[in-house]
Structure 1
Amino acid sequence: MARDIDVATKDPPTVCIVENDASLRRGLVRLVRGHRLTVEAFAWPGQVLRRLQAGQLHCAVLVLDIHLGKMSGFDLHDRLTQMGLSIPTIFMTGRDDTTSRERVRRLCAKAYLVKPFEDAALIGAIRMALKETR
């Protein structure tokens, strides 16, 4: 049974972003911080995975690119599930396709955003995920 993340333990909750494009990652961090949310950003899935495994990180919401190289966003999500973590996830992609869209739906992700997306779409999805987890 997956354990839910207790977002009440962090004030404000931490939004974890995994995006391998440095420019986009910096922009996402600025956007989310601009809405008075705490952000931890990572270039590669292994970085966030190691921090979570070590208990050094608490993610209230995970904003995750699907296409990250060796370990995909889907792979990271699967590993977190195997660890017993249930973190509300927002998937992003630059390549919209039916297979990915369907997989995201089956995973019960909070949102599926196709790049480029409106800032309001991401912030709205994050706020909705945070509200649902409280």
Structure 2
Amino acid sequence: DGADATMVLLRGRYDLVVLDMHMPRMGGLELLKQIRGLGVTVPIIMITGNQDVRAAAQALSGGVFAYVPKPFDFKQLDHLVALALATPQPTTGGQPAS
């Protein structure tokens, strides 16, 4: 649930966040804005069944590492997760998992 995800993210330490564009109570784009607005710089992969080009552009300009349309190959997702974890992130906001 998008509304609960913000609280969970703030309480813990995470190396990566995977969001769906459509979640109960708060959508992925709104959650993305909240996460970035709080200064959390963890890499985010957004998955979606939505083929809307504008939504993809908003997600990418909002700071997602990757935007992955459904259906997707789990090998592709695994590769994107590995790339996101290997990419140096800004040091402001958020902390890596220990």
Q: Report the TM-score when normalising by structure 2.
A: 0.81
Where do 4+ consecutive residues of structure 1 move more than 2 Å?
none
Q: 1:105 Cα shift?
A: 2.2
Greater share of strand: 1
For residues 5-27 of structure 1, what are the alpha-carbon distances to aligned partners after superposition, in whole Å with 9 as ceiling and x for unaligned?
xxxxxxxxxxxxxxxxxxxxxxx
Q: 1:47 Cα shift?
A: 2.2
Amino acid of the structure 1 residue aligned with 2:73 = E
Distance 1:121 1:89 in 2: 15
1:47 aligns with 2:9: no
- What's the secondary structure of 1:81's corresponding residue? helix
Amino acid of the structure 1 residue aligned with 2:21 = I
1:131 aligns with 2:96: no
Structure 2's unaligned 5+ residue stretches are 90-98
Distance change >3 Å, CA 47–CA 108, structure 1 → 2: closer
- What's the secondary structure of 1:104's corresponding residue? helix
Structure with max Cα Rg: 1
Distance 2:88 2:29 in 1: 21
Q: 1:123 Cα shift?
A: 0.5
Count of residues in Structure 1 that have an aligned counterpart in Structure 2: 89
Instruction: Name which structure has the greater RCO, CA cutoff 8 Å, separation 6+.
Output: 2
Alpha-carbon RMSD across the aligned residues, in angstroms, is 1.5
